[in-house]
A = this chain, B = another copy of it.
Amino acid sequence: MRDVAIIGVGMIPFGRRDQDSLVDMLAYASLKALDDAQLGDKAVDAVYVANMGGGILQHQTAIASALVDRLSLLPAAADTVENGPASGASAVKNGVLAVASGYYDVVLVAGGEKMREVSGWRATDFVATLTHPEVEYPYGITLPGMAGMFTRLYMEKYGLTREMLTAVAIKNQTVGTLNPYAHVTMAITKEGILESPHSVVNNPIIADPLHLYDACPISDGAAAVLLCPLEMAKKLTKHTPVVIAGFGQATDTHTLQEREDPTDLKAVTLAAQQAFTMAGIGPEDIDVAELHDAFTILEVAESEHVGFFKKGEGGKAALAGRTKLGGEIPINVSGGLKARGHPVGATGVAQVVDITWQLRHELPEGRQVLGATYGLTVNFGGFGNNVLSLILKRSA
């Protein structure tokens, strides 16, 4: 396998983007990545688009064919990759394999989703199409519902508290105020969402025991990365190349109910282990992480399953500030899905973009993890039934 590097990244501000079509958003993010890379006369050989909902939300398919023409990259190969909310990391993985194989040199990976086109319940229903069509979906279960039940089990098993989850929400929304790409840029306080009598109104239950501020918003958005062989990157780029040092992907039972211990996210553990093995490092070597905090509970659970903390210790660590910027392992210094937003096809790509900025040391004070060398992402598909983890490294 050839070593693969990231030579360009781009993102557009997430949020409500009524004026843009899905392909518009993908094109804007892609153009930023192409500008960032300064490819010169090198052609893009292939394009991977990460998108989950074009067919359902926009009644549009073959998005990759539309994008490659919009970007005037013809006759580059173009495919769409879908893996639920982990579509972004799956597209990055397949882009990496395509370059690693030696068949393609320059590959663009763009992830995007336009979820605000439909009303709130329809967006929730859209995401629920990843549940089991016979034993889950017809009974009305949604992803917030699953996360709520998962949280209850975690609380009972590990003594996780609402205060710990609230610490995650506050951390991510606080740093999100510094991220110009974030959908939610409003700082929140413990007083406002947990302690004050008004918190019942400010922060209502959405899926007991999860409250409104435990959940990410429903967002439009797109992000893109440009990949090439490391040797080519060293010659081409003005930036310090960032290398894909490791990656892993693992699946688990389609339904949550079939898992022996539903609090054990085996696919997260396995995906991260594969990534660590490939990179030849361990959790203690990671300087910064983007975890898939579609719900606060997921940041906590993932921080344990990838090996940053022991099982049951993630919530306490968040409460103690150990996952803040300046703490021992800064998590979601972008604001995460909680603040940046979660346009599902975009998320896994956006995580890679944010980690690339961290490893290039390009972020402003208050967001930059000083001297970061290794970054890790977790992109969580289904309710943990298809998970990817990537490890990026600042090349020497």
Residues on the B chain within 8 Å of A60, using CB: 129-130, 133, 137
Residues on the B chain within 8 Å of A102, using CB: 1, 100-101
- State the copy count for this chain: 2
Instruction: Identify which of A73-81, A182-190, A361-369 touches chain B.
Output: A73-81
Measured CB to CB, the nearest residue on chain B to A67 is: B254
Instruction: Identify which of A90-98, A200-208, A280-288 touches chain B.
Output: A90-98
A83 within 8 A of B: yes
Give the distance in Å from the alpha carbon of A102 to the alpha carbon of B278 in the complex: 13
Interchain nearest-CB distance for A76 vs B (Å):
6
Partner of A65, one of B76, B84, B93: B84
Residues on the B chain within 8 Å of A253, using CB: 69, 74
A385 within 8 A of B: yes
Measured CB to CB, the nearest residue on chain B to A69 is: B254
B78 close to A80 (CB less than 8 A): no
Within 8 A of B (CB), among A91-141: 93-94, 97-98, 100-103, 129-130, 132-134, 137
A64 within 8 A of B: yes
Residues on the B chain within 8 Å of A62, using CB: 52, 82-84, 129-130, 381-382, 385-386
A146 within 8 A of B: no
Residues on the B chain within 8 Å of A132, using CB: 66
Within 8 A of B (CB), among A214-272: 249-254, 266-267, 270
B251 close to A129 (CB less than 8 A): no
Give the distance in Å from the alpha carbon of A132 to the alpha carbon of B66 in the complex: 7
Measured CB to CB, the nearest residue on chain B to A386 is: B65
A75 close to B266 (CB less than 8 A): yes
A56 close to B56 (CB less than 8 A): yes
A79 close to B65 (CB less than 8 A): no
Residues on the B chain within 8 Å of A83, using CB: 62, 64-65, 78-80
Partner of A79, one of B1, B58, B94: B94
B75 close to A270 (CB less than 8 A): yes
A21 within 8 A of B: yes
A59 close to B129 (CB less than 8 A): yes
Residues on the B chain within 8 Å of A382, using CB: 62, 65
A76 close to B129 (CB less than 8 A): no
A251 close to B81 (CB less than 8 A): no
A199 within 8 A of B: no
Within 8 A of B (CB), among A34-87: 46, 52-56, 58-62, 64-66, 68-70, 73-84
Interchain nearest-CB distance for A280 vs B (Å):
15
Residues on the B chain within 8 Å of A1, using CB: 101-103
A74 close to B386 (CB less than 8 A): no
Give the distance in Å from the alpha carbon of A133 to the alpha carbon of B70 in the complex: 13
Partner of A78, one of B46, B77, B270, B386: B386
Given contact pairs A1-B101, A60-B133, A62-B386, a sample of 16 additional A-B residue pairs in the complex whose CB atoms are under 8 Å apart: A53-B61, A58-B133, A64-B386, A65-B382, A66-B132, A66-B133, A74-B252, A75-B251, A75-B266, A77-B249, A79-B90, A79-B93, A80-B82, A81-B82, A97-B97, A97-B103
Residues of A whose CB lies within 8 Å of any CB of B are 1, 21, 23, 46, 52-56, 58-62, 64-66, 68-70, 73-84, 90, 93-94, 97-98, 100-103, 129-130, 132-134, 137, 249-254, 266-267, 270, 381-382, 385-386
